[in-house]
Amino acid sequence: MTRLSLTLATILATSPAFADGHLTYGPRPAFLIGQMDDSPLKDRLQSCLGQAPARSDFSIGHRGAPLMFPEHTVESNVAAAQMGAGILECDVTFTADHELVCRHAQNDLHTTTNIVVSDLANKCTTPFSPASGDTPASAECRTSDLTLTEFMTLEPKMDAADTGATTPEEYLGGTANWRTDLYVDNTTLMTHVESITLFRDLGAKFTPELKAPSVEMPHDGFSQADYAQKLVDEYKAADVPASDVWLQSFNLDDVLYWIENEPEFGAQAVYLMDEYDIDGYSPQDPATWPNTMDELKAMGINYVAPPLWMLITLENGEMVPSALAVAAKAADLNIITWTLERSGPLAGGGGWYYQTVTEAIDNDGDYFEVLHVLAQDVGVVGVFSDWPATTTYYANCMGL
């Protein structure tokens, strides 16, 4: 058996309910429903308490279930699958020898692994530097600094860093107080190929994201087109049907490459929208958009994925679809959004992910209120979540 097969076999052997095909919501959906203000939606959601969960493609595991598990690990994705996520994500980047691995960014090893206290610390692009005066502790460690063999020796951790650290050991801290380090020990990194095997064994579909390189491309003869093609080739080599794969990229050129060169896969390629980085951009003002929704559709794009705040706004104090959401629907674009349950407790208005509806957000029950508007009024076909039980519960209760 392979290293990954052994890990999965151990997990399934110690989780007999999951091995038998049973899923679990756990306590969180009921907790969130209990936080909701009285409403017909709350009544509907309460009526589904006690019903058995079913897997749903509406529920997408964002890097697995990183609210409590180290992201992009075997264990994080098994947890997401146990909560009924029908689609799982491997953010894809590459190592020094151009092997594809699951990481949120090419340059995040210093916050997502133990590299700064490992024997590989001196290979980092920027080795650890301690905090001094007003200067915070820092490091930058890239997958492209390591070979695949070296990468696989690292130990995953929750994505965090203690910027007040004066030692590498202290720098490993910093986990947000609304997350946990309880499930960090003995977790398992994955290559992209291993993620394909794992997700298929878990009964889930695939949404890999081609991450922007931190190195200049081409990298030792490895071009951006080679990178985008290798991602597809690994699904083809595993005989995964294109209909089970939603390729993603923030780089519009990547999406257009797949549409032109791999049309079966390109038909479900997802354009991740980060137009919010453009000065003056507003999802309420089409004049600020670099491409209209009709123009994106004319390019052959069938799926767009803006962050959830770009899809909703307030009208007379109520959450309603944004102009962007209305235009995307009118252009016959499928809409996916991100990321539910990434902001921590919502009592303070929800932060970045809820910036257009902050005045309507004041407790954790509002996760379901936002989800309801996204599903019923915006018409999204899938929602990324850091704890997929919530989206699975909503989808099952609402018959999505």
How confident is the model over 340-360, as a mean pLDDT? 95
How confident is the model over 291-319, as a mean pLDDT? 98
Residue 260 confidence (pLDDT) above 90: yes
pLDDT at 22: 78
pLDDT at 17: 42
Could you tell me the pTM of the whole model? 0.95
For the stretch 179-208, pLDDT in tens is: 999 999 999 999 999 999 999 999 999 999
How confident is the model over 253-279, as a mean pLDDT? 97
Residues 6+ apart with CB under 8 A from 245: 205, 206, 207, 208, 235, 265, 268
Residue 340 confidence (pLDDT) above 70: yes
Q: Which residue has the tokens 């929602």?
A: 383
How confident is the model over 83-93, as a mean pLDDT? 98
For the stretch 5-22, pLDDT in tens is: 556 656 655 554 444 457
For the stretch 163-184, pLDDT in tens is: 999 999 999 999 999 999 999 9
Residue 303 confidence (pLDDT) above 90: yes
Residue 1 confidence class, pLDDT cut points 50, 70, 90: very low
Which token pair is 88? 């799982």
How confident is the model over 65-94, as a mean pLDDT? 97
Residue 302 confidence class, pLDDT cut points 50, 70, 90: very high
Residue 397 confidence (pLDDT) above 70: yes
Mean pLDDT of the chain: 95
Q: What percent of the chain has pLDDT over 70?
A: 95
Cα dist. 220→97, 102, 215, 280 in Å? 9, 21, 10, 37
- Give all domains of the chain, ordered by start, each with its CATH number: 3-90+190-398 (3.20.20.190), 107-171 (no CATH)
